[in-house]
A and B are shown apart, each in its own frame.
Chain A
Amino acid sequence: MNDSSPALVEVQHLSKVFRDFWRRPKVQAVDDVSFSIRRGEVFGLLGPNGSGKSTTIKMLLGLLFPTRGTIQVLGRSPRDVQNKRRIGYLPEESYLYSYLTSWETLDFYGRLFDLGPAERRARIDQLLDMIGLRHARNRVVGEFSKGMARRIGLAQALINDPDFIILDEPTSGLDPIGCRQIKDLILTLARRGKTILMTSHLLADVEDVCDRVAILYNGRVQAQGTIDELLQEAERFRLTLPHGVTRAQAEHLAAEAARLTGIPPELDHPRRDLEQFFLQVVEKARAAASSSSGVGSDQGVATYLRPAETTASNPSTPPTAPPPEDVDKALASLVRRDPPE
């Protein structure tokens, strides 16, 4: 993604007022929100509960109508039915039919996109592998845990290989492994040129995957920009010392810095990321025991969601899962960016 990419979503002065039965204004959920999302960008809508994230998304999908302002999604009105062929949506809760099995659920949504039977079957199998629920293909969704239902919800959002993916709280209800997988998937899809809009109140999730974010509070955009623009403290500097430097050497450097600047710097040990640490522990445990939960081991990203050249050799063979630490490298080698239209 670069700054010159055309805007896929344009939101101008968007407002939404919820009214009561007598049409009296009850709540102003969104207030004069403007932003645009460029093709191939991962855009995050951040904000606490009730800040207007989901309402904004529902207006982008035509599920709610703006009180004021304009929305263009893929160059058309959000209520344009044909436009929805190119959109994938994961709602904040996985609103699925509890009486359908996971296979039937994906088959149903596949039919809505006019996918042929063979293609539908292939995509469903790949998606079930990807979300680690192949073993639960004949279980009804009503019996699933929240995390499992979330995974099926994600799969249904991707069944049509959409250009624009909207993920409302995608990691909600997932364990850290699931969260990591979702984030890896988002990065993979972004590298393939997909445009992604996600909401979250888990800031670490957003920081890991988003190119740009808008922070909503009380229905208004409070801040907007790239992660670096928003988080970088341009007037402060951090010095990271390589392995092998002793404490005495570090203290000496700190003393030198204090002498030069007149202000003593802070000296402490860097900490590992808790998520990375957790994943390493679980990976070690997984190697010891074959399975541990309702969710089976995932088989990486669905073949049809990957670039064509990586699947052409043997599309029927499911990909093997790379070790977590190599995920980024493996994905980077698999994906390509779709050329901009």
Chain B
Amino acid sequence: MNRILAIALLSLRSAVRSRMVAVLMCLLVGIMALLPWVIKGDGTISGTIHLLLSYSLGLATTVIAMALLWAGSFAVSAEIQDKTIQTLATKPVSRFHLWAGKWLGLNLLGFLLLAFCGIVTYALLQAQLRSDRWTPDDLATVQRQLTAHAEFRPDQPDFEAQARHELVATPDRTRPDDRSPAERLQQRRQTLIAEFYSVRPLNRNQWTFSPLRGQTEDRPLILRYRFTSSVIGQDAVSGRWLIGTAEKPDQFTHTITHTPRVWNEITVPRHPDWSAKPIVVTYLNEDPGGATLLLDMDQGLTLLAPADPFAVNYLRVLLVKFAQLSFLTALGITAGCLFSLPVAALVSMYILLLVQLGSYIQGMATNEFSLTSAAGIERTTIDLALIAIYKGLAFLLSPLVPGDELTRLANGLLVTWWSALRHLTLQGLLMALLLGAFASYALNRRELALPQS
């Protein structure tokens, strides 16, 4: 351990004395302090908090990630290029010690930079909350945003099984169908999901939420949803929400005229029954315009329960970010162990590019139908190969693509301790150490004093 710490301290010294840290700090201060001024917000305190957390802190962590990936790729390859490895590798230092020392040192640097950004952003946030610009109503509203809420989603039926059952039980033989069975199953499944989240005019739909067990809070719940209207151009839809249990579904009622395509939130006083019995949420579509309400299928309807203060949630989000930085650092160092200096730098840039495209690639892999030119047409071998490549890339990139933790934080949604610990142990430690084992194996097979051409 002494050797690993010695190499870690060396890496840290190298970063500090090469002025990399000083330049990075200036850059980060610039991002955090100036970005909220440069980007025009919506003028609300909620928008300002979004700017600070999602944009400023998000960009700052991206810059740190880039710097660590870059520094990581240089950590070992530069030692080989400068030949200092020829002194270091003749000491009783295993290749894994070398990798782990570099990783620990750069992780420590990442931790310090992230902590710096975290503290500055928190200070800027507190300064905003104390600003004279905001009315007491603004500040009261933002309290919801600055409290971490646990999310509860409606229990969903097994759409896949239901679709399969329906296709077998009532096959549609009324029209010729050249779709493959898999495509018919997929389309039926999508239809069932859409029906689950839509409410036809003058109709009702019901969703059941599991009981809020273990919730000791007595603060009100929030019903949060986003929808679109089937009537194009309609900017207000009328209806009524009923919330209760199966026996008493109207323990809370709320008539509303709400706006499509934005997040709508209704404060719901908590009922004692809800901690033991399933909660039934009903929507009555009373819109005079005859619009069908189409709730967002991914996260369109949630019940939020206050869980933790903002600061604790903020800390957990920073831990998740640290785990991501740790993995990227490990990846950079591993690239430096495998390749010579210019190649390692190129590989790092390529990894960065993949990280930026990660969400797109994951989307392509998930929604594989978009890869074929049109539904109903048999996929070619090339289509199937593309799907396999996208799925493989999406799997490899899954630890790299930044999560939506900062957005959740800015929206007042809880990031659990479990999530933070899972990121730290799996991504920040286990997967990083796996990379370390691979890198040390590769370094053991690499001659470290080859003449440089």
Q: Which of A18, A95, A100, A112 is the one whose CB lies under 8 Å from B93? A: A112
The total of Cβ contacts below 8 Å across the A-B interface reads 75
Minimum CB–CB distance for A17 against chain B, Å: 12
With beta carbons under 8 angstroms apart, the residue of A63, A65, A99, A109 that contacts B17 is A99
A residues 257-306 touching B (CB-CB < 8 Å) = none
**Does A13 sit within 8 A of B, measured CB to CB?**
no
Expressed in whole angstroms, the Cα–Cα distance for A99 and B6 within the complex equals 15
Which residue of B is nearest A29, CB measured? B451
A89 within 8 A of partner (CB): yes
Q: Is A109 touching B2 in the complex (CB atoms < 8 A)?
A: no
Q: Is the CB of A111 within 8 A of B18?
A: no
| Interface contact A89-B3, CB-CB below 8 Å | no
User: What residue in chain B is nearest A19 (Cβ atoms)?
Assistant: B450
Please, what's the 1-or-0 string for A17-36, where 1 marks a CB less than 8 Å from any CB in chain B? 01000000000000000000
- Are A81 and B92 interface neighbours, CB within 8 A? yes
State which residues 155-199 of A face B: CB under 8 Å: 156
A84 to B94, CA, bound (A): 10
A2 at the binding interface (Cβ < 8 Å): no
The stretch among B49-57, B80-88, B114-122 that forms the contact with chain A is: B80-88
- Given A81-B94, A97-B14, A108-B10, A91-B83 contact (CB < 8 Å): yes
Residues of B within 8 A of A109 (CB): 87, 91
**With A108-B6, A111-B2, A112-B3 known to touch, is A95 a contact of B82 (CB < 8 Å)?**
yes
What does the 1/0 interface line of B82-108 toward A look like (CB < 8 Å)?
Answer: 111111111111100000000000000
Measured between beta carbons, the chain A residues less than 8 angstroms from B444 are 79
Assess whether A64 is interfacial by the CB under 8 Å rule.
yes
A191 → chain B closest CB, angstroms: 24
CA–CA, A89 to B449, complex, Å?
Answer: 14
Q: Indicate if B447 sits at the interface (CB-CB under 8 A).
A: yes
Find B90's partner among A63, A100, A114 (CB 8 Å cutoff).
A63
A residues less than 8 Å from B18 (CB atoms): 99
Taken residue by residue from 85 to 96, chain A's Cβ proximity to chain B (1 for < 8 Å, 0 otherwise) reads as: 101010101011
CB < 8 Å: which of A63, A82, A96, A100 contacts B92?
Answer: A82
B86 touching A112, Cβ below 8 Å: no
Cα distance A17–B13 in the bound complex, in angstroms = 38
A64 to B89, CA, bound (A): 11
Contact B86 A95 (CB under 8 A): yes
Contact B91 A63, beta carbon cutoff 8 Å:
no
Closest residue on chain B to residue A142 by CB atoms? B17
A146 proximal to B (CB < 8 A): no
Q: CB of A61 within 8 A of chain B?
A: yes
- Contact (Cβ within 8 A) A63 B13: no
Q: Which A residues are CB-close (under 8 A) to B93?
A: 81, 84, 112
* Given A81-B94, A111-B6, A63 contacting B449 (CB threshold 8 A): yes
CB of B13 within 8 A of CB of A87, answer: no
Distance in angstroms between the alpha carbons of A147 and B444 in the assembled complex: 33
What's the tally of chain A residues with a CB closer than 8 Å to chain B?
30
Compute how far the CA of A62 lies from the CA of B86 in the bound complex, rounded to whole angstroms: 10
CB distance from B268 to the nearest CB of A (A): 60
> Does B142 belong to the interface (CB within 8 Å)?
no
Q: Report the Cα distance A168→B451, complex, angstroms.
A: 16
Shortest C-beta distance, A159 to chain B (Å), equals 9
| Complex contact B90–A84 (CB within 8 A) | yes
Query: Are A113 and B84 in contact (CB-based, < 8 A)?
Result: no
Which of A58, A84, A85, A112 counts the most chain B CB atoms within 10 A?
A112
> Mask for B436-453, Cβ within 8 A of A = 1, else 0?
000000001001111100
Q: Do A93 and B83 have beta carbons less than 8 Å apart?
A: yes
Q: Which of B7-31 contact A (CB under 8 A)?
A: 9-10, 13-14, 17-18
A95 touches B3 (CB 8 A): no
A11 to chain B, nearest CB (A): 17
Residues of B within 8 A of A153 (CB): 87
B7 to chain A, nearest CB (A): 8
- Is there contact, CB below 8 Å, between B91 and A113? yes
Which residues of B, 209-250, contact A by the 8 Å Cβ criterion? none
B356 to chain A, nearest CB (A): 31
Q: Please, which residues of chain A bring their CB within 8 A of the CB of B449?
A: 58, 63-64
Contact A99 B13, CB 8 Å, known A61-B90, A63-B447, A64-B447? yes
Asked if A87 contacts B82 (CB within 8 A), the reply is: no
* A63, A65, A87: residue with the most chain B Cβ atoms closer than 10 Å: A63
Report the Cα distance A62→B449, complex, angstroms: 9
Q: Tell me if A113 and B92 are in contact (CB < 8 A).
A: yes
Select from chain B the residue with minimum beta-carbon distance to A110.
Answer: B6
Do B90 and A87 have beta carbons less than 8 Å apart? yes
- The residue on A at minimum CB distance from B89 is A63
Residues of A within 8 Å of B448, CB to CB, are 63-64
Instruction: Collect the chain A residues with CB atoms within 8 Å of residue B9's CB.
Output: 108
Q: How far is the CA of A104 from the CA of B13 in the complex (A)?
A: 10
How far, in whole Å, are A65 and B449 apart by their CA atoms in the complex?
10
How long is the Cα–Cα vector from A84 to B97 in the complex, in angstroms? 14
Question: Roughly how many angstroms separate A100 CA and B3 CA in the complex, as a whole number?
Answer: 17
A84 touches B86 (CB 8 A): no
Partner of B84, one of A18, A79, A97, A104: A97
> Which of chain A's residues has its CB closest to B90's CB?
A89
Rounded to whole angstroms, the CA-CA distance of A156 and B444 in the bound complex is: 24
Chain A residues near B13: list those with CB within 8 A. 99-100, 104
23 A-B pairs whose Cβ atoms sit less than 8 Å apart in the complex: A61-B90, A62-B89, A62-B90, A63-B86, A63-B448, A64-B447, A81-B92, A81-B93, A81-B94, A84-B91, A85-B92, A87-B90, A91-B83, A91-B87, A93-B83, A95-B82, A95-B84, A95-B86, A100-B10, A108-B9, A109-B87, A112-B92, A112-B93
Across the A-B interface, the 10 shortest Cβ-Cβ residue pairs:
A111-B6, A63-B449, A99-B17, A112-B91, A89-B90, A95-B83, A84-B92, A58-B449, A85-B92, A95-B84
Residues of B bordering A, CB below 8 Å: 2-3, 5-6, 9-10, 13-14, 17-18, 82-94, 444, 447-451
For the complex with contacts A63-B90, A111-B3, 15 further pairs of A-B residues with Cβ separation under 8 Å are: A61-B90, A63-B89, A63-B447, A64-B450, A79-B444, A82-B92, A95-B82, A95-B86, A97-B84, A99-B18, A109-B91, A112-B88, A112-B91, A114-B2, A114-B3
